[in-house]
Amino acid sequence: MTSATGIKRAGPPQAVQKVRDNYYLVQVLLTGSPSADWRRLFYEARVEASPDFQPRSVEISGALMRFRSEPLAVEARMKVIDRWVEHANEKETAMSGRNEEQRRKQEEMARESAELGEWNTRWAKL
């Protein structure tokens, strides 16, 4: 579920578990639970992806994101994640615009079909 502005971070990253020496599971709260389309768009992001940190490195569960990292890399990774989030929001907005346009076209076609049906009914006995 996204708002008009899309999904955003709702706070700073937090270490929630020590995975091994100098390596932690980091969690970030989101403003909402992203839709399946948004998640797909997030995972498809190619913006600043590096071989050691890809969008698939981030687990999205409900309104949480989790990833593993060394403490000194968290700040840089959060900047990249923020760009991936922005990318997903932009793409989802573009998709919803297309979906809205398709819905309007379908409604217009239904109105035209109904209008044609009315005329055909009126002319049926001519």
**Residue 2 counted as domain residue:** no
CA 48 vs CA 33, 36, 53: distances in Å? 24, 22, 9
Please check the confidence at residue 88 and state whether its pLDDT lies above 90.
yes
**Residue 7 counted as domain residue:** no
Please check the confidence at residue 37 and state whether its pLDDT lies above 50.
yes
**Number of Cβ within a 10 Å radius of residue 82:** 13
Q: Of the candidates 70, 3, 75, 69, which has an alpha carbon nearest to the alpha carbon of residue 33?
A: 3
Its domain, for residue 39, covers 14-123
pLDDT in tens, 61-71: 999 999 999 99
- pLDDT band, very low/low/confident/very high, at 120 (cuts 50, 70, 90): confident
Domain count, the chain: 1
**Residue 100 counted as domain residue:** yes
**Residue 30 counted as domain residue:** yes
Residue 99's pLDDT is 61
**Residue 1 counted as domain residue:** no
pTM of the full structure = 0.72
**Residue 53 counted as domain residue:** yes
Mean pLDDT of the chain: 88
